[in-house]
Chains A and B, each alone.
Chain A
Amino acid sequence: MSAGRRRRSSSIIYMEPAETIEQRSDQEAIPNLNASWVNAKGAWGIHFVIIVVLKIFYDSLPGVSQETSWTLTNISYTVGSYIMFHHVRGIPFEFNAGAYDNLNMWEQMDNGDQYTPAKKFLLAVPILLFLLSTHYTHYDNAHFTINILATLAVVIPKLPWTHRLRIGLFEDSD
């Protein structure tokens, strides 16, 4: 029956294959509430709120320089959004009989369409955050490298060519 989470290829890099018709009909049976909220106004605004709150929090810690504070804000935001949009696959609660088990949230968004307004917004936020942080600080090379890598880590998985791409470094192949 269904292959579930079984890998069909033994290579390190592989593409998640297209769903079976059975799985597709399960996906399309009801709107995917797990991914549709990203188009809401509040869902856009909350990014700025979270970033400001993080910045205030790190500033309030004693002995933290502006550089460290910005770096921590940047890293917290990118790590959080990476886990949420690119690491967790499927839907965390019971829904659609597991029809989205093989896709992460970025791939579930807007039915897999690319360059949608929500995707553009979510890509712009970490870039903007990085540019802002370089403006307000005097990063040394180490700080600069850490920040740019953190930003790239969330920007690259958002690109169209990484759609359904899996890099199986830590996965078993059978």
Chain B
Amino acid sequence: MDLADTMKAVNHTFQDVSYQFKRLPGSSILLRYIKNSYQNDPIRSIVELCLLLFAVRYLLAPRYSTKQKPVDLTEREIDELVEEWTPEPLVSPLTELEALEEERRPIITGPTGPKVKLLNSGRTVTNMASMNYYNLINNDLVKERAVQILRNYGVGACGPPNFYGTQDVHMDTEKEIARFLGVPAVIVYAQSFSTISSVIPAFSKRGDIIVADRACNFAIQRGIQISRSIIRWYNHNDMEDLERVLAQVQREQKRKPLTRRFIVTEGLFETTGTISDLPKLVELKLKYKYRLILDETHSFGILGRTGRGLTEHQNVDPSNVEMLVGSLAHTLCAGGGFCAGSNEVVEHQRISSGSYVFSAALPAMLSVAAAECLKLIEGNPDLLLTLRDYTKTMRSQLERSEHIIVTSAPENPRILFTVKGYEHDERVMAEVVDEALTAGVLISRAKKVADSSKEWQYGPEVVMVTPSVGHTKKDLEAAGSVIRKAVGKVMSRRK
């Protein structure tokens, strides 16, 4: 009786449960689903059930962050940290050399040119410290045009090129430079320094590879740093070392995702004055499938039969250089810089090169002055011949001194020299510059940025001497003698 009763109770309960279940909304669908899915295979049903349960668990889990949480500090710990902190001075105190330099800094009064008047002493000295090679700065034609443009266009565009900053004169200048170089397109930047440091990050991004010369100037190094690319250095102008680096990169990057690759170097190096071997660079670039970014800031308008730069000097077609960067502020005595290349290379920069997109356009006046100066160089081949003659004269003048080592290339009118035995002594160079100024010749030191990483301080300390066609042969000879004597005087003091 007990058993029967129990059975009855169980049956009743089941019926009850099943009745209640059927009353639930959607229960028939669920039953039909289970019946359909079962398909005489309990394992499959278990798998499906597990999947479902897992999904439900996932859906119910609370959100959390995988980022590292900031450390929780107590009030006391914060106070202690604040107490411990001693702020660094905003400006570090001047070193002895800097103080000396600051004290004797020559200040020019009146217009600049081959001869300048100094403010502090009132003397007129020979200016061999500016890159006014063709004396275009005193050209009346350029001056007249500049004034005319100033009256028509005002002082500046006051807007980035993409926001009402582009004027017809900018486009004319771009066309003019493109025609002069024989390249499809040119883009003009507002500052010479920021041209290369903006061109590099416009193309090379994180994960891309840059192989650069160890002696590259500060602007290039900034550009490389901003680009966040992988950077490999090769020894200055050492093409064998370059090939070794390229081969090593090729080995390392085998079977890895393809990246953009660039070789970055200069035409005439700013820090050493040496000249690049472009044919070999182009050969290696083609062999290892790299793009070449060439900084011609100091060689544009100088090298080559007609001043077209390193490409003309070494008979390389400019189309072999993907990005050819030059300056309108050095030889052309105007302002700004440019990048020449294919239409794609130039148009890409118009919307993705930081310096072009975010800084105000080059003033119309400077743009026109640059184009005018370019025409003058092109129309007066004598200028180049005279400058070359002067460079030779000046070099031979300097080389007569036993203490002077000229490091720059013979073609380079920006003559750099160092003092034998004191190649890394900044102080000696500063004293030479000082002595020369006392004797009436203004020259300057090629300064470097002090940085702990050794790639950033390449080559010896140098003094820069730049002859100009505005000088006479006599000026050069006199200046040469003054500099030799200045070096001699500094050396005699050391002994």
Residues on A lying within 8 angstroms of B by beta carbon are 1-6, 18, 22-23, 26, 94, 97-99, 101, 111-116, 120, 123-124, 127-128, 130-131, 134-135, 138-139, 144, 148, 151, 160, 163, 171-172, 174
Contact across chains for A124 and B207 when beta carbons are under 8 A apart: no
B63 near A5: Cβ-Cβ < 8 Å: no
A5 touching B37 by the CB < 8 A rule? no
Knowing A1-B230, A18-B68, A131-B52, the reply to whether A99 touches B254 (Cβ < 8 A) is no
Question: Which of A1, A124, A163 is in CB contact (< 8 Å) with B59?
Answer: A124
A172 touches B39 (CB 8 A): no
Interface presence of B493 (CB below 8 A): no
Q: Which residues of B contact A128 (CB under 8 A)?
A: 55
- A2-B206, A123-B58, A130-B51 in contact; A138/B39 too (CB < 8 A)? yes
| Contact between chains at A135 and B64 (CB < 8 Å) | no
Does B22 belong to the interface (CB within 8 Å)? no
16 A-B interface contacts by CB (under 8 A): A1-B228, A2-B207, A2-B228, A3-B230, A4-B208, A4-B229, A5-B207, A5-B256, A101-B207, A113-B64, A114-B61, A115-B64, A127-B55, A131-B51, A163-B66, A172-B255
- Judge if B8 is at the interface, Cβ distance under 8 Å: no
Given contacts A1-B228, A112-B65, contact A120 B254 (CB under 8 A): no
Question: CA of A174 to CA of B55 in the docked complex: distance in angstroms?
Answer: 39
Q: Please pick, from B44, B58, B67, the residue contacting A115 in the complex, using a CB distance under 8 A.
A: B58
Chain B residues whose CB sits within 8 angstroms of the CB of A120 once the complex forms: 58-59
Which A residues are CB-close (under 8 A) to B51?
A: 127, 130-131, 151
CB contact between A114 and one of B54, B63, B207, B208 (< 8 Å): that residue: B63
Can you name the residue of chain B whose Cβ is closest to the Cβ of A94? Answer: B352
Q: Considering the chains assembled together, what is the distance between the CA atoms of A17 and B127 in angstroms?
A: 57
In the docked arrangement, what's the CA distance between A1 and B222, Å? 13
Distance of A160 Cα from B59 Cα, bound (Å): 13
Q: How far is the CA of A2 from the CA of B230 in the complex (A)?
A: 6
Contact between B52 and A135 (Cβ–Cβ < 8 Å)? no
Most buried by B among A5, A26, A139: A5
Of B37, B65, B257, the residue contacting A134 (CB under 8 A) is B37
Residues of A within 8 A of B33 (CB): 135
Find out whether the CB atom of B256 lies under 8 angstroms from the CB atom of A114: no
Number of A-B contacts (CB under 8 A): 96
* Residues of B338-387 contacting chain A, CB below 8 A: 352
Residue among B36, B61, B66 making CB contact with A112, cutoff 8 Å: B66
A101 surroundings in chain B (CB, below 8 A) = 206-207
Indicate whether B445 reaches chain A with its CB closer than 8 angstroms: no
B231 interface hit (Cβ, 8 Å): yes
The answer to whether A114 and B66 touch (CB under 8 A), given A5-B257, A172-B255, is yes
Question: With an 8 A cutoff between CB atoms, is B48 at the interface?
Answer: yes
**CB <8 Å contact, A97 and B65:** no
Distance A98 CA – B256 CA, assembled complex (angstroms):
16
Q: Decide: A135 and B207 in contact? CB cutoff 8 A.
A: no
Closest to B255 in A: A172
* Chain A residues positioned under 8 Å from B55 (CB to CB): 123-124, 127-128
B residues 16-37 touching A (CB-CB < 8 Å): 33, 36-37
Q: How large is the interface on B (under 10, 10 to 19, 20 to 34, 35 or more residues)?
A: 35 or more
Tell me the smallest distance from the CB of A36 to a CB of chain B, in Å. Answer: 16
Closest CB in chain A relative to B472 CB, distance in Å: 50
Give chain A nearest CB distance to B452 CB in angstroms. 15
| B84, CB-defined interface residue at 8 Å | no
| Interface presence of B62 (CB below 8 A) | yes
- Bound-state CA distance A172–B256 (Å) is 7
Q: Give Cα A39 to B55, complex, Å.
A: 19
B256 to chain A minimum Cβ distance, whole angstroms, is 6
Task: Return A95 CB to nearest CB of chain B, in Å.
Answer: 10
A124's closest neighbor in chain B, by CB? Answer: B55
Complex contact A99–B37 (CB within 8 A):
no
Contacts A123-B55, A131-B51, A144-B44 given; does A22 touch B63 at CB 8 Å: no
Given A127-B51, A131-B48, A172-B256: A98 and B66 interface contact (C-beta under 8 Å): no
- Whole-angstrom distance from the CB of A78 to the nearest CB of chain B? 14
Collect the chain B residues with CB atoms within 8 Å of residue A135's CB: 33, 36-37
Q: Across the interface, do B207 and A148 meet the contact criterion of CB distance under 8 Å? A: no
Most buried by B among A127, A128, A151: A127
B47 at the interface (CB under 8 A from A): yes
Residues of A within 8 A of B259 (CB): 4-5
A134 x B48 contact (CB < 8 A) = yes
CA distance A1 to B228 in the complex (A): 7
A69–chain B nearest beta-carbon distance, Å: 17
Lowest 4 CB-CB distances: which A-B pairs, in order?
Answer: A98-B206, A4-B207, A112-B66, A115-B61
Distance in Å: Cβ of B100 to nearest Cβ of chain A: 36
Q: Is B256 a contact partner of A2 (Cβ separation < 8 A)?
A: no
Query: Which residue of A has the minimal Cβ distance to B209?
Result: A4
Interface string of B35-49 (1 = CB under 8 A from A): 011010000100110
Q: Please tell me if the beta carbons of A116 and B63 are within 8 angstroms of each other in the complex.
A: yes
Cβ contact of A172, chosen from B36, B225, B229, B254, cutoff 8 A? B254
- Would you call A1 and B229 a contact (CB within 8 A)? yes
Whether B205 is near chain A, meaning CB under 8 Å from some CB there, is yes
Residue of A with least CB distance to B45:
A134
Any A CB within 8 A of the CB of B252: yes
Q: In the assembled complex, how far is the CB of residue B119 from the closest CB belonging to chain A, in whole angstroms?
A: 44
Give Cα distance in the complex from A157 to B201, angstroms.
34
Known: A4-B229, A127-B54. 6 other contacts (CB 8 A): A5-B257, A98-B207, A113-B65, A115-B62, A116-B63, A128-B55
